[in-house]
Structure 1
Amino acid sequence: AGLSFATDRNRTADGVETTFAVNHLSQYLLLRLLLPRLAEGARVVLTSSSTHDPEHAGVLPAPRHADAALLADPDRDPARDPKRAGGHAYTASKLCNVLTVEALNTRAEARERRITAIAYDPGPTPGTGLSRDFSPGVKLVWTLLGSPLGRLMPRFSSRAAAGGTMARLALGEIEPPAGRRYVALRRGRPQWTDPSELARDPKARDALWNDSAAMLDLEA
């Protein structure tokens, strides 16, 4: 599903910002390598987050863009806010997940083989280790929210509900309504809705697909 850091200073061995590399680029690479081998009617589910949407980002900074070059090397981003850079790296990577799903659904090879791609927002899910790099105070809050106390929060999900719903999506037990590709888990129930406006931008969608391909020496 991904990871999150308090900063954007972590780098992979290739020099790519780690959140972007793990949450988007590695998943994009795996998808591209598997795509020629996916069966007729296959299903692809990428784990995104409501934080990709400025209306639902909460305490995290909303993503300003999905520019692959700037996300891979945030020091080049002229609008980078050092105090919130880690949060932006996370929310922007989750925007990339939705855009990748949008792009895949437009690909001729996916349409011809009836491949269904879905972006899944499991909701905040304490107990997954996502907060392991954060301060002791944040970790404590997440631990409390992972207790029965978290059931009082409408947007929060248990690990069982989040994982179980993803399995049902992957197995085709939950079918998307016509034209829907983004689903959010709320109070244990999948809700099909529209992603953010930027996530539906064809220019951002195509640019991310092509730029990610170029970074990985793949054909766009």
Structure 2
Amino acid sequence: MSTVLITGGHSGIGLAAVRVLAAKKIDLVLAGRSPDRMGEVADELRAAHGLRVTTLALDVSSLASVRVAAVQLRQLLGSGEVTSLDAIACNAGGRFDGAVSFSPEGYETTFATNCLGHFLLVELLLPYLSENGRVVYTASSTHDPDSLDGRLVGAVVEPDAVALATTGKGGAKALPAGKRYSTSKLCTVMYAYELDRRLRTAGSSISSIAFDPGSVPDTGFLRGMPKPVQWLSASAAMKWVTKRIGAVTSDAQFSGASLAALVADPDYADVSGKYLQANDGTLSAVRSARLSYDEQRAAKLWDDTKHLVGLTADEEPVLLR
């Protein structure tokens, strides 16, 4: 029996994905910071499909929380309560508008949530992934400044982990929320590619995949925006307009099913190091932003992120050293 760990699997695209995975009789570990909601989803899936669904308290914006969750999962694997770990879906994330805020460790919240927490989680759990396991990172078309989505949200800045983690510190002017978000997603794509390169160098058969779910306004992505903006973005008229002008569009059900396919379907066993996009009912491999293929920048991003999360020699997977 396969087991998939997914962050943010209790709402939006993640919820749609776990429902598809559960229907395929794949055991699940739901990791997130909403224990009551995760419990409700776990009960639903157990009752409907008779499978193992474990919940794991995890706030990806908190490095301390990630470390605790990783220890707990290792214990569950050791006891047999979780039988295996065959995929990690780094799905949770968000855009944080308004005044800049910071994580418990003092890092800007967008970068901490979308990048640092998942980076640490993968590093800590990679040794426990099955031989042909998969890591899937939920990215966004906003990461590409040459795309309409990237221009609408805010063109990315240099993918400098230290600068992104500390923007707005000490009263300094912070990057706008849109740029913080789009650049965090550029970093997400670069992490996926850099992990693939390191896995291939080590001779590993684990896959690392970047996934763009498209613009899905009926999820919680816009919850920080004013109510009129939320209503307009989710309206049929706006969906038609965004599709007509060339934005990457989807809905929670298709994007969730696409995420489920990437973490579990045999058809996607050989897409490591690629960028898969859900757009208007089609899931296909496409080119990501030009900057995302810069290997020198990606290596620096990776090494700087290791220092930011405080990864110790004992924590770093042997095959990535």
Band the TM-score falls in, shorter-chain normalisation: 0.7 to 0.9
Matched, 1:50 2:129: no
Residue among 231, 255, 262 paired with 1:169: 262
Alignment of 1:75-154 (within 5 A): 75=168, 85-108=176-199, 111-144=202-235, 147=236, 150=239, 153-154=242-243
Partner of 1:182: 275
Q: 1:4 to 1:106 in 2, by over 3 A?
A: same
Matched residue SS, 2:211: strand
Flag structure 2 segments of 5+ consecutive residues without an equivalent: 1-90, 314-320
Task: Write out per-residue CA displacement over residues 16-40 of structure 1, whole angstroms, 9 at most, x where no aligned residue.
Answer: 1101000011010111011111111
Flag structure 1 segments of 5+ consecutive residues without an equivalent: none
Residue among 309, 312, 321 paired with 1:216: 309
Distance 2:211 2:136 in 1: 7
Deviation at 1:109, TM superposition (A): 6.9
**Larger relative contact order, structure 1 or 2 (CA cutoff 8 Å, min sep 6):** 1
Deviation at 1:211, TM superposition (A): 0.7
Distance 2:99 2:165 in 1: 10
Q: 1:32 to 1:174 in 2, by over 3 A?
A: same
Identity level (%) = 30
Task: Choose between structure 1 and 2: higher helix proportion.
Answer: 2
Which range is displaced more, 19-28 or 134-143? 134-143
> Could you say which structure has the larger radius of gyration?
2
Tell me if structure 2 keeps the 8 A contact 1:46–1:119: yes
Tell me if structure 2 keeps the 8 A contact 1:176–1:192: no
Deviation at 1:204, TM superposition (A): 1.3
Tell me if structure 2 keeps the 8 A contact 1:6–1:86: yes
In the alignment of these two chains, the number of paired residues is 214
TM-score where L is the length of structure 1: 0.88
Distance 1:71 1:17 in 2: 7
Distance 1:7 1:111 in 2: 43
Deviation at 1:209, TM superposition (A): 0.8
Q: 1:179 to 1:165 in 2, by over 3 A?
A: closer
TM-score where L is the length of structure 2: 0.61
